[in-house]
Amino acid sequence: MNGMFIDTSLCVGCRGCMTACKSWNELPGEKTTFTGSLQSMPDTTPKTYTLIKFYEREENGRIRFDFFKQQCFHCGDAACEKACPEDAIYHTKEGAVVRDYDRCIGCDYCQRACPFNIPRIDTQNKKMHKCTLCFDRLENGEIPACALTCSPGAIKYGNRDELWEAAQKRLAEVKKEYPKANLYPSDKNALGGTGVFYLLINEPEFYGLPAEAKLKTTFSLWHDVVRPLGKIVPGIALGATVIAAVANSVKKQREEGHGE
């Protein structure tokens, strides 16, 4: 299986990957407002699948920028896929996690389930949008547009096992200058093995990532227990009770999210 390795120590913040993504996916430009940061916009959107985030810090009296390429991790055991009540999210044979446009109802359960808060819901067409890993390019033997464009070589695509081995060697080198450097996720098999993994020069929390990426129990229960049970015995009280519990949990998460 192939995968993508993003080495943040090599990223120069040129945003060529963002431009390539927009171009290949025919995504429109978006009007932004300057907020005092060189970062293009605060977050990804239904029309911006990947974003180079700028993290400003002072080092030896000088301003330094650290960069992070925000995008979908394309998890092997994808929380968004488990959460989708319409089975609109699936894996391609190349390992990309993609959405079936016609089946998607824009319920946002995928966004609530994702450990990295990646899916974005277009409130106008009621559809979920996110990085597709350029699955249409992969199907034709090409690599993702962002990896093809990255001139510093910070984005690499190829055999996942070989990339992981190369990443470990690279980490040993980077740690000499950045002692906090780490591979993320640290476990090669986390979330079923993510199709995208990183070399970070700081702790995951510095980039707004969870220290430990794992599925939320509520959505695993929904996909692995409640839904199969409901198909077999849809009328039993137990099934109704559990479904109600899951629904209440989701409702609570949504209310908490909107209240932030």
Assess contact for 184 and 197: CB atoms under 8 A: yes
* Rounded Cα distance, 35 and 236, in Å: 54
Annotated binding residue at 178?
Answer: no
DSSP states along 26-93: TPPP------SSSSS-SS-BTTB--EEEEEEEEETTEEEEEEEEE----BTT-HHHHH-TT--EEE-T
Nearest residue to 129 via CA among 201, 202, 203, 30: 30
From residue 17, alpha-carbon distances to 11, 48, 141 in Å are 10, 11, 19
Annotated binding residue at 80?
Answer: yes
Assess contact for 99 and 135: CB atoms under 8 A: no
Nearest residue to 97 via CA among 60, 129, 54: 129
Annotated binding residue at 72?
Answer: yes
Annotated binding residue at 195?
Answer: no
Q: What is the CA radius of gyration of the chain?
A: 19
* Rounded Cα distance, 75 and 96, in Å: 8
Annotated binding residue at 134?
Answer: yes
From residue 258, alpha-carbon distances to 42, 72, 246, 251, 254 in Å are 17, 22, 18, 11, 6
Annotated binding residue at 236?
Answer: no
Annotated binding residue at 209?
Answer: no
Annotated binding residue at 146?
Answer: yes
Annotated binding residue at 130?
Answer: no
* Rounded Cα distance, 47 and 180, in Å: 33
Annotated binding residue at 117?
Answer: no
Q: What is the DSSP letter of 142?
A: P
Annotated binding residue at 212?
Answer: no
Annotated binding residue at 114?
Answer: yes
Annotated binding residue at 131?
Answer: yes
Annotated binding residue at 11?
Answer: yes
Q: Which residue positions form the known binding site for [4Fe-4S] cluster?
A: 11, 14, 17, 21, 72, 75, 80, 84, 104, 107, 110, 114, 131, 134, 146, 150
Q: Which residue positions form the known binding site?
A: 11, 14, 17, 21, 72, 75, 80, 84, 104, 107, 110, 114, 131, 134, 146, 150
